[in-house]
Amino acid sequence: MIFYGEKQKSMLDEEQAVSDELEAAELEAEEAEETAAESSIYDGCTDEELLAHIRSCDGDEALDYLINKYRNFVRSKARSYFLIGADREDIVQEGMIGFFKAIRDYREDKLSSFRAFAELCVTRQIITAIKTATRQKHIPLNSYVSLNKPIYDEDSDRTLLDVLSGARISDPEELVISHEEFIDIEQKMEEILSDLEWRVLMSYLDGKSYQEIAVDLHRQVKSIDNALQRVKRKLEKYMESRGDDLDIGTVYRGLTTINRGVRTSEE
């Protein structure tokens, strides 16, 4: 036991050493970048002046300077979002695409500053990518069930039902559930969820954003967030009480189908 404890401690020390080395390397890179920025001929230029240089015949250096200046800004915006089937860098890249669009489309006669315009373009590009990835018609094409849509609220980075994220479909037979069983589950859920919680959940599964649901139900975005958190807790408790192997993600796929079928019949 003593030998194992010493070995484990050694492994932890090695991991800490690697972490320290990575942190030192990152700090060194940041210092180098700051030094380069300080020595740049564009140091002290306004964003609008940089844009004028970029649009001149020889604006590559000015473009690099502006990109480096806003790189961390784009990363900070990307942290608030989650994109199905993508990692964090993919979201950053979407943000950078939005930033390049801001450089391309900004006009000095606009009332807003370039920074405000760039923030709008970055956010819009990320949200567009997320909506495309989470659109209802794409759900059958995903290799796993994930309802992690972003909350477009700077004060909250939570997503819907974290328990669903990464729930992979390994065997199609596991998804085969009788229609009667789905009806039973639906009826039980209608019992345990309040009217607001049910309406919010159905709207979310229909592909609507937090803002759209809030407008439809005449509620605040925070109220929608809280309702979905209550849904998560109630459903987790209910699924545990069932005592079977039914995956929660499968339940939501079935509910989405039922919801879509009901809506089609009403139309």
Is residue 88 over pLDDT 70? yes
When pLDDT is averaged across residues 184-210 and rounded to a whole number, the result is: 79
Name the residue with higher pLDDT: 56 or 28: 56
Rg of the chain on CA atoms, in Å: 24
Residue 107: CB partners within 8 Å, gap ≥ 6? Answer: none
pLDDT category of residue 97 using cuts at 50, 70 and 90: very high
pLDDT of residue 222: 86
Is residue 230 over pLDDT 70? yes
Which CATH number fits the domain 41-136, given the four candidates 3.40.640.10, 1.10.1740.10, 1.20.120.420, 2.60.40.1170?
1.10.1740.10
Structure tokens at 95: 């943000």
Please, what is the average pLDDT of the chain?
Answer: 68
Answer yes or no: are the C-beta atoms of 217 and 226 closer than 8 Å. no
pLDDT of residue 122: 92
The overall longest dimension of the chain from CA atoms, in Å, is: 73
Domain boundaries, the chain: 41-136, 161-264
pLDDT category of residue 111 using cuts at 50, 70 and 90: low
User: Looking at the DSSP assignment, which residues form a beta bridge with residue 167?
Assistant: 145
Residue 73: CB partners within 8 Å, gap ≥ 6? Answer: 118, 119, 122
**CB hemisphere CA count around 83 (13 angstroms):** 21
Give the whole-angstrom CA distance, residue 66 versus residue 64: 6
Is residue 194 over pLDDT 70? yes
Give the whole-angstrom CA distance, residue 169 versus residue 104: 42
**DSSP code of 156?**
B
Three-class DSSP category at 167: strand
Is residue 137 over pLDDT 60? no
Structure tokens at 5: 């404890």
